[in-house]
Amino acid sequence: MESTATPSSSPTRRGRDIPASPVWWQRLLGENGIQKWVFFIPIVFFVLFFAAPVVLTIVFSFFERTQFWMEPGFTLFAYENFFTSARAENYVFSMLHSAAAVVVSFVLGFPIAVFVRRRVAKAAQHRVILLFILPFMISELVRVFAMRPVLGRNGVVNNFLIDIGIINEPITIILFSPLGVIIGDVMSFLPFMIFAGFLALEAVQNYIFEVCDDLGAGPARLFGDIIVPLAAPGIFAGSVFIFVNSMGVALVPTLLGGPGAVNAGLIANQAIVALDFPLAMAISTIMILTLVLLLYVGHRLFDLTKVLEPIS
């Protein structure tokens, strides 16, 4: 049967030149070959240089210490060394300091996330949050260091308070002290509570707030019954981030803590300097297990994958 609807504009039709089956090297370079496997590079890289070192840390913590290095073996010496010395006590203290930093960050930072989500025009929300990127993007080293001339005996804070006559003697408890460490941690990591809290609240639909207004829920009920439970995954993620970094970043106690102020990061660092590698690995192991435990509990309680909803 002759087709009546022969198109006018098609002297050549692609339908007639379907390429033949590819030979092996075309397959290799094709979309099921290298082009597919190239996407696995990040996974391979992270398994090799992140997951493997972290897992091996646990293995190395059981190795025998030698004078300058270590050798394969199985000994609990490093753990014994950790738990029978002041290090274990210091570790617990640094957990307490870190928990305090988390609480302070939540109290200071989370209301900002709520405010931006609820009261700032939708289009401007991301821009306001962006403001908190700036302090975070300045070297942590500089920010922590900068607390010294601010909090010091003749720093800005003391000078100001003496000038306006509130105090006569400089306050010395705010620098080179546990309080100084907490202040330093809050100044360093506060933006993360705001980011994580906002990200979690962003996934909450507007109508939820409107329903609450409609039902006449007061601010306290709204906060306790609706906002905190819905933002729980974000609050938790932000809290864990601040907690582990307060425990693990050696810089803060080094620069702002008093004599003997340490945290897990600094203990590990000192072990490395002392060439006691198994001990450093043991401390890292304990730190990593603390982190894994926290994340596991948090995931069971709040389903942390919710934090990722806005980006998936």
Partner 1 sequence: MRNSSDTAVEVVDLGKNYGTVKALNAVSFTIDSGQYYALLGPSGGGKTTLLRLIGGFIQPTAGQVLLHGEDVSHLPPNKRPTSMVFQSYALFPHMNVERNVAYGLKLRKVPANEMRDKVDWMLSMVGLDGYNERMPHELSGGQQQRVQLARSLVLDADILLLDEPLAALDAKLRKDMCLELKRIQEKVGITFIHVTHNQEEALTVADRIAIIADGDLIEQGTARDIYETPRKRFTAGFIGDNNVLGGIVAGVSGERVTVDLDFAKVDIAAPGTTAAAGDQVSFSVRSELLRMVDPGQTADGAWQSVPATYLETIYLGLTTSHLVRLPDGSEVAARFVSSEDDIGSFETGQAVTIGWPSGRARLHVS
Partner 2 sequence: MYDDFANPWTIRLKWSYLLLVVVALLSPVFYIVYISFNEHGFSARIYEFTFDWYRVVLSDTILVSSLSWTVYLAVTAVAVTIPMALLSAKFYKRSRRKVAFVALMLSPLFVPADIMGSSLLVFFKNLSGAFSWLDSVLGVNWFDGWFDLGFLTALIGQIIYTHPYAFIVILITMSRYRNQQTEAARACGATAWQAFWQVEFPQIRVGVFSSCAFVTILSFNEAVRTALLKGGFDTFSNVLVAQMLNIGMSGESYAMAGIMSIVSITVIGSIIVYTLVRAERLERKARAMAEPVMSI
Q: How far is CA 42 from CA 28, 35, 38, 39, in A?
A: 20, 14, 9, 7
- Give 307's contacts (C-beta < 8 A, 6+ positions apart): 196, 199, 200, 233, 234, 237
301 binds, options partner 2, partner 1, none, Cβ within 5 to 8 A by partner type: none
- Per-residue binder mask for partner 2 (CB under 8 A), 87-106, x = binder: --------------------
180, HSE (Cβ side, Cα atoms, 13 Å): 29
Q: Give the amino acid at 208.
A: I
229 binds, options partner 2, partner 1, none, Cβ within 5 to 8 A by partner type: none
Q: Which position has the token pair 């200071």?
A: 108
Using alpha carbons only, give the angle 122, 123, 128 rounded to the nearest 5 degrees: 90
Name which position in 32, 49, 289, 297 contacts partner 2 (CB under 8 A).
49
250 binds partner 2, rule: CB under 8 A: yes
By the 10 Å C-beta count (0-12 exposed, 13-18 middle, 19+ buried), 122 is classed as exposed
Expressed in angstroms, the distance from the first to the final Cα of the chain is 52
Q: Where are the alpha helices (DSSP H) in 61-155?
A: 77-83, 86-119, 122-130, 133-137, 140-151
164 binds, options partner 2, partner 1, none, Cβ within 5 to 8 A by partner type: none
223 binds partner 2, rule: CB under 8 A: no
9 binds partner 1, rule: CB under 8 A: yes
By beta-carbon proximity to partner 1, the closer residue of 5 and 220 is 5
Give the C-alpha separation, 268 to 272, whole Å. 6
Name which position in 33, 54, 93, 275 contacts partner 2 (CB under 8 A).
54
18 binds, options partner 1, partner 2, none, Cβ within 5 to 8 A by partner type: partner 1
**Of residues 23-42, those binding partner 1 (CB under 8 A):** 30-31
**Of residues 52-111, those binding partner 1 (CB under 8 A):** none
260 binds partner 1, rule: CB under 8 A: no
Give the C-alpha separation, 280 to 268, whole Å. 5
**Of residues 158-197, those binding partner 2 (CB under 8 A):** 187, 190-191
220 binds partner 2, rule: CB under 8 A: no
Name which position in 28, 29, 47, 96 contacts partner 2 (CB under 8 A).
47
The CA radius of gyration of the chain, in Å to the nearest whole number, is: 28
By beta-carbon proximity to partner 2, the closer residue of 2 and 219 is 219
Please choose, out of 19-27, 180-188, 242-250, 300-308, the segment that lies near partner 1 by the rule CB under 8 A. 19-27
Q: Closest approach of Cβ 17 to partner 1, in Å? A: 8
What 3-state class would DSSP assign to 209? helix
Q: Nearest 5°: phi and psi at 257?
A: -80, 160
By beta-carbon proximity to partner 1, the closer residue of 27 and 127 is 27
By beta-carbon proximity to partner 2, the closer residue of 1 and 14 is 14
Name which position in 6, 84, 139, 168 contacts partner 1 (CB under 8 A).
6
C-beta neighbour count of 49 within 10 angstroms: 10
By beta-carbon proximity to partner 2, the closer residue of 133 and 301 is 133
Give the C-alpha separation, 233 to 227, whole Å. 11
Give the C-alpha separation, 280 to 58, whole Å. 11
1 binds, options partner 2, partner 1, none, Cβ within 5 to 8 A by partner type: partner 1
Q: Which residues bind partner 1 (CB under 8 A)?
A: 1-3, 5-7, 9-10, 12-16, 18-19, 21-22, 30-31
